[in-house]
Amino acid sequence: MTTFLTLVFVLIFINIAMILTSLYSANKSKSTPNGRHADSKISKIYPLDISTSDYKKAV
């Protein structure tokens, strides 16, 4: 029982440490200026043209 509780508490501690690290890095990246995103290319999204597709009978 002691081993089980020790493992549970260790896993909970690791989980809390990972959450805090993730939150810290998210706040850090949020504070950076958006200038680096201006260089990225915006991709175009084309609509699907389903009406011209040819469907074959399966059976």
* Closest alpha carbon to 1 in 14, 15, 9: 9
Dihedrals phi, psi of 45, to nearest 5 degrees: -110, 120
Tokens of 33: 């200026």
Q: What are phi and psi of 15, to 5 degrees?
A: -60, -45
Looking at residue 42, its pLDDT comes to 81
Model confidence, pTM: 0.47
Q: What is the DSSP letter of 42?
A: P
More confident residue, 58 or 9: 9
Q: Give residue 8's pLDDT.
A: 98
User: What pLDDT digit, counting tens, does each position of 10-59 carry?
Assistant: 999 999 999 999 998 887 777 655 555 555 678 888 777 666 666 777 77
